[in-house]
Amino acid sequence: MSQPWSRENQCLTNTINYSSVSKPFIITAVILLFIGTSIGSIWMMSIMGTNLPLWFHGTFQLHKMLQMDGFLTLLIMGIGYMIVPRFRNIQLGSVKLAYVSFLLILTSLIFQFIQAIDDDENLSIWVMVLRISGVIIFLVIVFWTLRVRPKLLGLSDYFIALCLVTLITVNVIDLSGYEYINSLTHIQLWLLFPVLMIFGIEYKTLPSFLGFIRPRKALTIASLVCISICMISGFVSVIFRDMSLLPVVIFNVTLFASVLLFASAVYAFGGFDNRAIESH
């Protein structure tokens, strides 16, 4: 009886194309998260009244760089390189280009670190070119992979595509030097693209974990519409800073609505259906 099982497992293993290209992205992201969190913790200590050396106050601006520009960007790139091909059981389009994108992002972070410490504005253009180039390579590879339609639950691709659009847009806006009036919307936009990637992954996996076959399609489409409106209103509120608060209100309302619709679509409130298990 053990022989057929071993053949089946070997066959399944051979049909899956695993790649370790995401490993340096995720490892580097975790390291940057630890450093950024440590700086943020010390920053909080200074706010609470702890006396720190004067030179250390200049490092507080690195908290945002390490957490958002570094950790979030590299983490989502690593997850994208790993998850999107596996959903289709195909190989990544170009592993070498993926490593090039990693080096570009990492080099831009190093230049941005030097710029923050030495206050050297001459490095700004290099940071922008390197960062945007790395993100564009990531977008091209993932969009090229998305051209292969999955056999099931294809709506997950739309969440991933919106994630990619948000990623490149927030980077372009950030590196262009816009001064944000509503800093909360700025932070929410940075957190939006990892949320969209999570939505894309959960749409594929969560219903099966809960014992259901398919998410609710109508609610998923409604969630996608709300998140699209949310993205547009968020970018408008950041770029056109002198407008009314209406885009900010629309951004927050549609964001909340999209989350509720998505949770309902994937049966997050439905519990685990174990009837099929009990019948056997």
- CA-based torsion, 215, 217, 223, 227: positive or negative: positive
Are both 132 and 57 inside the same structural domain? yes
Same domain, 84 and 199: no
Angle between helices 156-175 and 124-146 (to 10 degrees): 170
Question: Smallest Cα–Cα separation from 127: which of 106, 114, 146, 111?
Answer: 111
Domain annotation covers residue 155: no
Name the residue with higher pLDDT: 58 or 14.
Answer: 58
- What local confidence, expressed as pLDDT, does residue 4 receive? 45
Could you give the number of structural domains in the chain? 2
Whether residue 137 sits in one domain with residue 34 = yes
Look-up of token digits 């547009």: 232
**Positive or negative: CA dihedral 141, 143, 147, 148:** positive
Q: Are residues 21 and 104 in the same domain?
A: yes
- Please check whether residue 162 is in contact with residue 192, taking contact to mean a CB–CB distance below 8 angstroms: no
105, 124, 148 - which closes a domain? 148
**118 and 187 together in one domain:** no
Kindly state whether residues 188 and 95 are assigned to the same domain.
Answer: no
User: Would you state the pLDDT for residue 273?
Assistant: 46
Do 38 and 83 lie in one domain? The reply is yes
The better pLDDT of the pair 175, 112 is held by 112
Is 160 among the domain residues? no
Cβ-Cβ contacts under 8 Å for 176 (sequence gap 6 or more): 128
- Rounded CA gap, 24 and 101, in Å? 11
Does 176 or 202 have the greater pLDDT score?
Answer: 202
pLDDT of residue 137: 92
- Judged against a pLDDT cut of 80, whether residue 117 lies above it is answered with no
Q: With respect to residue 167, please indicate whether it lies within any of the assigned structural domains.
A: no
Per-residue pLDDT at 256:
93
Eight-state DSSP code of residue 245: S
Three-state DSSP class for residue 144: helix
User: Which of 38-42, 235-239, 275-279 is modeled with the greatest confidence?
Assistant: 235-239
Q: Range of 256's domain? A: 181-273
Q: Is 153 part of any domain?
A: no
pLDDT at 229: 94
What pLDDT sits at residue 225? 95
Return the percentage of the chain with pLDDT > 70, whole number.
Answer: 75
Tens-digit pLDDT profile for residues 235-248: 888 877 766 788 88
Q: What gap in Å lies between CA 110 and CA 234, rounded to an integer? A: 29
- Identify whether the C-beta of residue 39 lies closer than 8 Å to the C-beta of residue 60: yes
Minimum mean pLDDT among 5-9, 88-92, 104-108, 203-207: which range? Answer: 5-9
Phi, psi of 276 (to 5 degrees): -65, -35
Highest mean pLDDT among 55-59, 63-67, 119-123, 177-181: 63-67
Q: Do 139 and 208 share a structural domain?
A: no
Write out pLDDT tens, residues 221-267.
999 999 999 999 888 888 777 667 888 889 999 999 999 999 888 87
The 10s digit of each residue's pLDDT in 184-207 is 777 888 888 889 988 888 888 877
- Rg of the chain over Cα atoms, rounded to whole angstroms, equals 21
Distance of CA 65 to the CA centre of its chain: 15
| Structure tokens that stand for 116 in this block | 């923050």
The pLDDT tens digits of the residues spanning 3-12 come to 443 444 444 4
Contact 17, 85 (CB under 8 A): yes
Report yes or no on 82 lying in a domain: yes
pLDDT band of 269, cuts 50, 70, 90: low
Does the residue 168 lie in any domain? no
d(CA 72, CA 66): 9
- Are 143 and 31 within one domain? yes
Q: Across residues 63-68, what is the average pLDDT?
A: 78
